[in-house]
Amino acid sequence: MKRRLILLGAGVLTLAAPSLHAATPRRLSLRHAHTGARFDGPWHDGTAPDPGAMAELSAVLADSAAIRPRAFDAEALAILCDLAEAARLPGPLVVRSGYRTPAINAAVHGAGDSQHLRAGAIDLEVAPARVQQVAGLARGLARGGVGVYPRRGFVHLDSGPVRHWNGDVPGGAVAAPVEDRIGRIAAAWRAQGGGR
Beta bridge partners of 148: 155, 166
Strand 38-44 to strand 121-125: parallel, antiparallel, or no bridges (unpaired)?
unpaired
Residue 171 DSSP one-character state: T
Under 8 Å between Cβ of 97 and 122? yes
16-37 tens-digit pLDDT? 444 344 578 999 999 999 999 9
pLDDT surpasses 80 at 149: yes
Residue 185 region, left (φ>0) first, then alpha (ψ -120 to 50), else beta? alpha
123-137 tens-digit pLDDT? 999 999 999 999 999
Under 8 Å between Cβ of 38 and 158? no
Note the pTM of the prediction, 2 decimals. 0.75
113 C-beta neighbours (distance < 10 Å), count: 9
Beta bridge partners of 130: none
Is-cis flag, bond preceding 92, omega within 30? yes
- H helical segments located in 21-73: 51-60
Backbone angles phi, psi at 69, to 5 degrees: -60, 145
52-98 tens-digit pLDDT? 999 999 999 998 888 888 999 999 999 999 999 999 998 899 999 99
Backbone angles phi, psi at 45, to 5 degrees: -85, 5
